[in-house]
Every structure is written in structure tokens, then in C-alpha cells.
A and B are shown apart, each in its own frame.
Chain A
Amino acid sequence: MGKRDRHNLALGLAFLGPNILGFLCFTILPLVFSLVLAFSNWDLQLHNMFKDEQIKCVGFAHFTRLLLQERDFLRFFGNTLFFMMSIPFAIAGSLGAALLLSRDLGGGTKRVYGWLIAGAVMVASSVMLVVAGAGGTAMTILLCGLACGMLVAGSLGGSTVYRTLFYVPHFTSGVAVYILWKKLYNPHTGPVNTVLDPVLTRVSGAVNGIPPGSMHAVAWLFAGGAAVFAAFGVRNLVRMWRSGDLGWAAAVLPAAILSFPVVMAQRWAPTRAAGTMILILVAATATYELVQAGRDTERFPATFGKGLGNALMLSLALMVGAFIALGLAIVIYQLPTWATDGLEPPPWLASYHWAKPAIMVMGLWGAIGSNNMLLYLAGISNVPQELYEAADIDGASRFQRFWHVTWPQLAPVTFFIIVMSVIHGLQGGFEMARTMTKGGPAGSTTTLSYFIYNEGFETGRLGYASAVAWALFIMVFSVTVFNWKFGSRYVND
């Protein structure tokens, strides 16, 4: 290396030095330190500059305790996973928003002026209703008017206005948003319940007019839907195994995932009877398919771990579908009983059962117009126009254009968004728990990150808190590796 090169190198390192130093001091060193802490018994009550106790290595004791003795760990992990259930909907929402915003929405057409007039009439009507004292109805109309106003503004100002409006929730300060949503969720005076109250009153009136037997029949239909999901999954797993796309060992986990809704249906009182039906149907399907497989003379054996990714994706999607169907079945089954005394909007953040969905909806609101939407916008703008022209020539409909051109071209973006969303989801939930609910009621909104904070700074058990943090890291890393291994094939195909 010549003198000049050495000089340039030294200069470059000198300019990079502060950043590297900061990175080492504030990122790498704490990271390594926390890893060491995770295997120590560091407790602020016993080990600090004013005490003489020695810090000892405890090996894997913290991890053992976390997995085997921490009674709330699974519950808090479940809370974290619950919040992550909104990820698919958030991604779909971001994609939908990006598709809408990638269109030219300029004004000047008759339809735009129609929206303009309709929006103005709605806002004026709601103002008059408020003045007349009909606050609840006015609120409903005003919200609709607000939506219209936004549409109109975008029509006049183009997609830039919409993009800004969609992105606003994401860059608004977190604490301010949480306080705002706390007000929105106010059980008696918040706009959410003000809109829901008249709607639920009408629904309860309608439900009371329907014979309970009819509602129960509809509930059974939905339970049947859950059975169909589960049976469909079992059927496909067996067929994949028959055709050599799925190894026998790789089938175990997907089968267990598919059986989860069946087991839960047996445990929940309202669905116990339906659960038996689901079990019978699934067992019958499995038996039939296995018998068919036994009759096959041509078999294509697969290695025992083959096809795990595909099978897992299928079983996860079907499990979610089955749970949604079961949930609807429970709600519809119970609706006549609930409607007898009149349906009321839930108390949201003050309710053990509704606090989680409330926070999930809030997270969804912010996630739709987030960086994911911007990534999709960039991805959509990079789709070659020739592909669309070719699709038009082949006579593709709008949906077919999306499904066969746009969606595959967005696969790399989708993959990246899924990976980052899962990482963020597993680590998140701290701010909202601390600001809105303090992890309650009764620990229903405590996530793993909030649990780590409590263990570290409330009790001073920094060693144990570090162990929990590293356990969380292992989970995040495992899921990310799985995503990379099995998800990337859809990107590269």
C-alpha cells in the first residue's frame, strides 16, 4: 500500500471513527454485555457499586426457569402472538392502499364534482344535527362526511394528498397516538362507541326478531365451515404425502397445527358439540385419504423432511380460517342470549377480553399506511408495463392482471415486509402497554417486551431480564431463518 493510499485510509478511518466508536459503545458492547448477563445472577439489589456481593454464573438456570417455571411466560407470549395476528391484514391493507394510490386520481370529472357536492351536504347535515342535539347520529354522519371530504380532497389534489393522509398515522408520535386512541375508545363518550351504539341497538332488535333456532343453525353452518377447513387441510397433507411432496416427518407439525382448532373446539363450551362433529369429519377425511393412499400402487416416497415449508404455510392459513369460522360460530350462537338484554358496545381498554383487539385495531390503523405501503408503491412502479400489455392482449381481467402479473412481481417486496413485520411484531407492544394499559387489565395486554421491562427495572433482576430478551431473540431469529429458508423460494421461483 503506497503512502498516499495509507494516508487516504487513515483519513477515511478518522472520519468513520466516531460512528464506529459509537456503534461499538452503544450497540455491540451492550449486546455482548447482555449476553453475558443472561448467564449471570446480576440483581441490582445485590450487585451494584455500593454492595460487595459477587456476580456468579448460573448457566442456563434463567432459561430453564423461563420455560418451565414462569407461569405467565406463555400467556405473555400468547399476547404477543395475538397482536401479530393483524400482520396479514396490515400487509393486505398496505397493498390495497398502494394499489389505490398508484392510480391517477386527478379531478375534473363529473364523478368528482358529484363527490364534492355529496361531501358538502353530509358535513352540513351533520353540523345541523349536532346543533339540534342529535349527537350520536351526527357523529355517524360526520365520520362519513369526513371520509367523503378526504376523497374529494384527493380528487382535487391528486394522489399526493392521499399518500400524505395515509402516511400521517405512521409518522405521528407514538404517545400522542396512544392518548388519542384512549379517548376514541372511551366507553361512553368516545366516537367509536357512539357510532357502534345505535348500530348494535338495531342489530339486537333484529336478532330478537329471529327465532333462536335459526341463529343456532347458522352457527352450526359456520362450525361446519371450520370442519371443512380442517378436513381440507388434512386431505391436502395426505395427498402431498402420497405424491411425494411431503415427507412423513415433515407432516407431523402441520398436522398438529391443523388439529389445534379441533382441540380448542372441544375445550370451549359453546363449541363442544360442534367440536365433536369437526373431529368426526376430520377423522373420516383422514381415514378415507389414507385408505386411498394404501391402495396406490405407484408411490413417490419423499425424504422425511421434504415439503415442510409448503405444508406449514397451508396448515397455518387453514388454521386461521378455522379459528375465524369457529369464532363466528360462537358469536352467532350466543347472539340471541346477548341480544335479550340489548347489545352494548364493549368497554374496550377497560375490558379483559376486548383490550387486546382494541390495541390490535389501533396497530392496524397505523400499519396500513406505514413504510410497507411505500415499499409496495415503489414495487408497483417497478413492474414492467410490457407484462400488463401482454396480459391485456391475452384478454386478462383486472383481477387476473393483479393475480398473474402484479402479485408475483411484488413477491420480493412482500417477502421483505413479512420478515420485517414478524420481527417487529415479536419485539413490539411495549409503548402501547406502558402508555395505555400498563399491561392490564389483569395482564391481558402485557407482551414479552413489557414483561422484560418489568423484570429488569421493576424487580432489578437484570440477569433474568437479559435471558428473557435473548430467548426472544432466539425466537425472532428462528422465525426469520424459517422465513428465509421457505419463503424466499416463492420469491425466486
Chain B
Amino acid sequence: MKYLFLACLGILIAASLFTHSINPETQSELPVLYWVTDPNPARVLQVSTFQEWLRQNGYPEFELRVDTANSDASKMLIQGVSGVGSDVIGHCGGQRMRYFQKVGLLTDVTAWAKELNFGPEHTFPAMEPELTVNGRQYAFPCNVYAHMLWVNKGTFHQNGVPLPPKRWTFEEFERQGKQFVEAANRGKARQTAFFVNGPNSTIWRRSLGMDIYNETMTRCILDDPRNVELLKRIHRWTYDDHIIPSAADREAFATESGYGGSSFQLFNSGNYAMVWCGRYALIQFREFGTLDLAVAEPPHGGFPVTSTGTRAAAVYIGGKHRDLAKYFLSYLASEAYNMNIVRDADALPPNPKYTKTEAYRRPLPLLPDLTTFFPYPDSELDAVAAFEKTFYAVTDTIDRENPIDPQDLPIPPKPSAMPAEAYQKALAAFHTLYREHMATCRREWGCHEAFSEAAETIAIPVSSSPFILESVATRLIGQLEEGFMADRETAEETARLMGETVNQEIQRALNENPKLRPQFDELSKRQEEIDQRRSAGRPVPRDWITNPFYRRYYVAQGWTE
């Protein structure tokens, strides 16, 4: 028996050695870096385009591999503090960037950004707080999003309701919403159509001129009558006017499949007249193929505003090849990558100048996904990227004003690395898609500008106090909102508790980390001065204000020096 066990031990050891020998890292001659991100099929092409870009620019070559198995935030955190995080951390903008920076997982890329031109000046100005902490840069956007309301024009026309204006107030929203739900649910045993897929209390609160935190983000100010008014309004819109579905209504919609979950499916089927989302909703909407679309700003209570954010990439401080990872961030600022995002409709490209192109404003049908159409081995993926680049260089110049016959499409030359048969098949597939999807593309025209304009004008990133974890604040506030919507507390009590619990959490953080106290005291003193100036009607220096919402709001109201 013991010989049997010894034999098993020997086999296990041999298997371990074999597994180690076929580890991808040991098989590559080039350095291997891992990019942890979501399992979007577009990443494959982005990586192959990146390899091509490295060669063209004469940068050191290395292999970038996508890791989709560890994209959960808690996994990233634990792996990061254990020293085994991925070299490039995806989904690392805004809240996650600030948290990981606090933990110490991120590399300060400010110097590299200056060297390789991927500083905050190369992206939307609103992104600066999402990428930097105390003036130091830690990430660069993979894309940028601004939350707007997608409008299903067909649903409105079917129910005889006029389309919403681009900019509208709460009162107009309510009036049209009531009109819509009454028309769309007429004669039905139970309500199946709603005006919009849910509330967005953060945006609506800001449109009333208030934010979660004060100007210096030292205190939560949700115990404010305006917040009470907003809570009551949302409650009325949900349970009295039925413009917005309740939690039970959302649960009742059984469809869960597809990118974006049930909301997009229900938007397509007319159950929701509008949905909150960024431009990246088009990834799913294009699959549906039949939607006639428009875009509206969120309704406002006096101050038009929306929220913005980014899916950004950062460099892990414990990575073995940090000096190579910087090239990936530089690639994110390149034309090749930006135009990729433009065509995929994966939100907004990092650099706003690419939102001024015809390819962005009036896109044509895309090439089919050649990596699945032709089974390219990894070594030939660069040929795909090269062909796409050539192809789009031609189609981007097509005159959109006049109808274009597919037969008259200019034919891009075949890249040398691409087989002739694959080239012919790609062209034929594109002609087919062009004929079938041109109408779909035209229905998008007019929508894209709304997002880029919003990102440059009214979009403001979410405020984040350095004295409390955003996830904790979000959880506490969200729980209390749910409790209010379940009629456990009154609106006044809910607002009071929101302020109280968040402020208690701030105090707790200060007690646990005394190093924050001097900063807190300094900012609190400044807050007092701001309050005094406001009471006296005097302008406030803009630099005193750290809350990104109030920095914009004060300027808009003319309250700054």
C-alpha cells in the first residue's frame, strides 16, 4: 500500500512540474503583462491593435494578455495587497482608483504621462478628479461615459406621446410621464409600461443645487430640506404616478439575459420608454437592430446636470514590468485606440477630439468580427488589426450626406499579411452588413453628439470625500433610501439619518486614522469661511472648493471670485 501512495505522490509531483512548464509565462520569449478587465470580446482586438501600435512606434515589445477571471473588486484588492495583482488594472477610474490609491496599490504615472502624452489634458476636463489624487495622476481612461436618457422614439409614437425635449424640468418630466403611462397601460390588467427604468437620486439631487457633501467634503449634508423634497418626489413618481417602476415591478420583469441586463431588453420591447445609460448602451442596441433612438438630458430641478465617470486603466505598483505597462496607458491616448472606441460605441473615446469626427457623429456599419469569421491563430491577429485600420481609413471619408451604394464603396487595399481569400470574404461580408444595417446606423445619427456635449458641458463626476470610503457611503445611503421607499421611515427621518450615519462614519475614519485629522481640521476651517462668505453674499475663491459639483455650481451661479 505504501508503494501505491508513494507512486501517487510521484505522479502528483510530475504533474505539477508539467503544469509549470506549460505556464504561458514560461513559454513566451517576451515579457508577459496581464491586463485585468471585463470579458468584453472587443478586448481581443484592442490587444492585437496595441501590439501593432507598439511596433509602429518602435516601443519595446511585450505580450499583453487579458485576465477576465479576476476582475471582481475584492479579488483585485486581495491579490493586490498580497503582491500578486495584475500589471494593468482595468475598471480603475473614480471610486476604485481612489480606493486603490489609498490602499497603495497604484503607481504614480504623472511623470510617464508627461513623457508619453497621456496626461489629464489629453482627455475630458471633467475626468481630472477621476484620474488624479492631490495633483498626482494614477490612471488614464479606457473610455468615458456620461449618463443620459436613451429615448425609444417608436414607443413614444405608438402611444401618441410627444418626444421629450433635450432639456427638461421635473415638472415637464412628470407631466409627460403621467401622459405616457396612462396611454401605454390603457386597458391592461396590470401596468407593464413605465416612463423610465428607475430613479437617479444623485443626479436629481444635484439638479436641485445640493450634493451629498459640502464644499470641502468634510460633512454629509443630506439632512437638507431639498433632499427631503426629492425623496418625496421619487416616492410619488413611483407609487402614486407609477412613472418609475418600484423594486417589486423591476423584480417582476423576468427577462435577465443580454448585455446590460433586463433594462435594455425592456427598453427594446417598449416596457420602458427611456433608460438611463451612457453611449455604451449602443453595444446592445445595435444587436436589436430596430430601435429608433433619441437622447435626452436628465430632467432637472433648476440646474441641468448629469454624472460622468470612466473605465480607466492603472498600473499596479507591485508589477514586475511597471516600466512597460506605461506604454499601454499611452496607447489609450492614441488615435488607433480612440477610433476603436468610437466605432465600437463603447462609451466615449478618452480624447474628446475624436468625438468631432464623422465616424463618431455619423457612424457607418462596422466590419464583422473577423476573429470569429476567420479562425485566425493568435500570431495572425495583427493582420486583422491592420486590415481594419486600412478599411476604416477609407470609409471614414465617405460623404454621409448622400446615399451611398455599397457597390460604389471605395475598396481598401489588401494588407500584405492578409490572405487573399480572407480579404474577399471580409469585403463581401461588409457589403452585406452595409445593406442590412445602414438604416440602423442612420437611426443613431443625432444621438452621439448629445453624449459628447454632455461630457464637455453639464457632466460632473461623483463627489468623493477623502474621509469616508465611497462604497460605505453608497451602501449606507442606499440602504436608507430603500427603507424609505419601503415606508419604514418618513422622508424627514430618512434624510436626517443619512446625514447622521455618514457623518458618524467620517468621524470613525478620523479616529482610526489620525493622520487625516490635520487635513480635516484645515478643510473644516475653510468650510466655515465659505459658509460665512455665502451668508454674507460674498464670492468664494474657487480654489477653496474641493467638491467637483460645487466647483461647477458656484461658477454657474456666479458665486466665485
Contact = CB atoms under 8 A, between A and B. Distances in A.
Interface of A: 11, 15, 41, 43-46, 48-51, 71, 183, 185-189, 347-353, 440-443, 454, 457-461
B103 A188 contact: no
B381 interface: no
A443 B476 CA distance: 10
A442 B482 contact: yes
B486 A441 contact: yes
B69 interface: no
Contact of A442 (B5, B82, B250, B486): B486
Contact of B103 (A48, A186, A187): A48
A440 B251 contact: no
A41 B83 CA distance: 21
B486 A457 contact: no
Contact of A46 (B2, B248, B513): B513
Counting chain A CB atoms within 10 Å of each CB, the highest count among B99, B250, B486, B488 belongs to: B486
Contacts of B475: 454, 458
A11 B103 contact: no
A117 to B, nearest CB: 35
Given A351-B486, A352-B486, A460-B77, A442 B251 contact: no
Contacts of A349: 251
B252 interface: yes
Nearest to A47: B81
A187 B254 CA distance: 9
A188 B190 contact: yes
A44 B248 contact: no
Contact of A459 (B246, B248, B469): B469
B327 to A, nearest CB: 23
Given A44-B77, A50-B318, A454-B475, A347 B482 contact: no
B104 A51 contact: yes
B102 interface: yes
A76 B73 CA distance: 24
A44 B512 CA distance: 12
Contacts of B248: 187, 347, 350-351
A352 B513 contact: no
B105 A50 contact: yes
B16 interface: no
Nearest to B82: A49
Given A49-B318, A51-B104, A347-B246, 12 more contacts: A186-B251, A186-B252, A187-B248, A347-B252, A352-B488, A353-B486, A440-B482, A441-B486, A458-B471, A458-B475, A459-B469, A459-B471
A443 B479 contact: yes
Contacts of A461: 512
B104 A50 contact: yes
Contacts of A454: 475
Interface residues of B, number: 37
A352 B74 CA distance: 27
Interface in B267-320: 317-318
B257 to A, nearest CB: 13
B247 interface: yes
13 contacts: A11-B2, A15-B5, A48-B104, A50-B103, A50-B105, A71-B501, A187-B251, A349-B251, A350-B250, A352-B486, A442-B483, A457-B74, A459-B472
Contact of B81 (A41, A48, A353): A48
Interface of B: 2, 5, 74, 77-78, 81-83, 99, 102-105, 190, 246-252, 254, 317-318, 469, 471-472, 475, 479-480, 482-483, 486, 488, 501, 512-513
Contacts of B247: 347, 350-351, 441
Contacts of B480: 442
Nearest to A51: B104
B246 A458 contact: no
A189 B482 CA distance: 23
Given A441-B482, A458-B472, A459-B469, A49 B83 contact: yes
Nearest to A347: B248
Nearest to A186: B254
A250 B349 CA distance: 72
B103 A44 contact: yes
Contacts, number: 93
Contacts of B251: 185-187, 347-350
Task: Identify the 9 closest CB pairs spanning chains A and B, nearest first.
Answer: A347-B248, A50-B104, A352-B486, A442-B483, A188-B252, A442-B482, A350-B248, A48-B81, A350-B247
Contacts of A458: 74, 469, 471-472, 475
A242 B221 CA distance: 61
B482 A460 contact: no
Contacts of A45: 99, 102-103, 513
A189 B190 CA distance: 12
Contacts of A353: 486
A459 B468 CA distance: 10
A137 to B, nearest CB: 16
B246 A460 contact: no
Nearest to B486: A352
A190 B488 CA distance: 26
A202 B483 CA distance: 32
A480 to B, nearest CB: 31
A41 B515 CA distance: 14
B509 to A, nearest CB: 9
A335 to B, nearest CB: 20
Contacts of B102: 45
Counting chain A CB atoms within 10 Å of each CB, the highest count among B77, B81, B317 belongs to: B81
B85 to A, nearest CB: 11
B483 A352 contact: yes
A458 B475 CA distance: 10
A489 B252 CA distance: 51
A443 B497 CA distance: 15
A50 B471 CA distance: 22
Contacts of A460: 77, 103, 469
B131 to A, nearest CB: 20
Contacts of B104: 48, 50-51
Contacts of A441: 247, 482-483, 486
Contacts of B469: 458-460
Contacts of A41: 512
Nearest to B106: A50
A352 B318 contact: no
A46 B512 CA distance: 10
A442 B5 CA distance: 54
Nearest to A18: B9
Contacts of A457: 74, 77-78
Contacts of A11: 2
A49 B84 CA distance: 11
Nearest to B250: A350
A46 B104 CA distance: 8
A440 B488 CA distance: 13
A350 B486 CA distance: 9
A11 B3 CA distance: 11
Contacts of A188: 190, 252
B508 to A, nearest CB: 9
Counting chain B CB atoms within 10 Å of each CB, the highest count among A41, A51, A185, A352 belongs to: A352
B81 A44 contact: yes
Contacts of B318: 49-50
A183 B472 CA distance: 30
A348 B252 CA distance: 10
A200 to B, nearest CB: 15
